[in-house]
A = this chain, B = another copy of it.
């Protein structure tokens, strides 16, 4: 299977990393819209337009499947992207909801969703989780986490104060925390420490792998997949980060 992975920037590499760890595909084409990142502060119509343009980009390749690794795009643009695409498209929001469903036995579990402003405003996670019977949902836009990760601030006083700022109203540690942005797994150790070891962290990359394994019965392993990286600006910078994050060299 030859697949495309789309993200607003570099964050989707965390999803690629999960897929590589499970040797799922023989070829992965990654496209990051680095010239217009971030999407999480932008308008619904803009996000849909950018999603459609990504599908146009992927039409240059003969793909079997497109994975939308960006939560913001998954929350707003999946329908419009599917309407103009010939191949199957799955998104991280759907995958995250399925992962909650599979890992939480009790429908009364408290679930905290964190994401960009756009993702949280979409209520995409709440709507999906509600349909699956979960009622105790709380969502918080934690927009500062994105630039903190991009500045490589993964611990320390700024992060501690930012946690306090965003989570001051959370009186009870959640049973599950949905990391609703591909940047957030880079803060997972600190988040786990903050909320305690009993909080289950839902990670987009692992959730996608779980969905793919269940939905597509991917039994064959591909140890050395072909990887191609494209970006709307400075693809060399993206390739450099990919080599570092994915330990390709």
| Partner-B contacts on A (CB < 8 A) | 34-37, 41-43, 45-46, 143-144, 146-148, 150-151, 153, 156-158, 160-162, 164-165, 233-234, 237
Name 22 interchain pairs, CB-CB below 8 A, sorted by A: A34-B42, A34-B43, A35-B36, A35-B42, A35-B43, A36-B36, A41-B150, A45-B233, A46-B234, A143-B151, A144-B144, A144-B147, A144-B148, A144-B151, A153-B165, A156-B161, A156-B165, A157-B161, A157-B164, A157-B165, A158-B158, A158-B165
CB-CB < 8 A to A34: which residues of B? 42-43
A239 to chain B: closest CB distance in Å? 14
Chain B contacts of A37 at CB under 8 A?
41
Q: Which residue of B lies closest to A141 (CB)?
A: B151
Whether B157 and A147, one on each chain, are in contact in the complex, defined by CB atoms closer than 8 angstroms, is no
* A160, B147: Cα distance in complex, Å: 17
| B46 x A233 contact (CB < 8 A) | yes
Closest CB in chain B relative to A143 CB, distance in Å: 6
Q: How far is the CB of A65 from chain B (nearest CB, A)?
A: 28
- Minimal beta-carbon separation of A7 from chain B (angstroms): 15
Q: Contacts A36-B35, A151-B143, A151-B144 hold; do A42 and B164 have CB atoms under 8 A apart?
A: no
Closest-CB distance, A102 to chain B (whole angstroms): 34
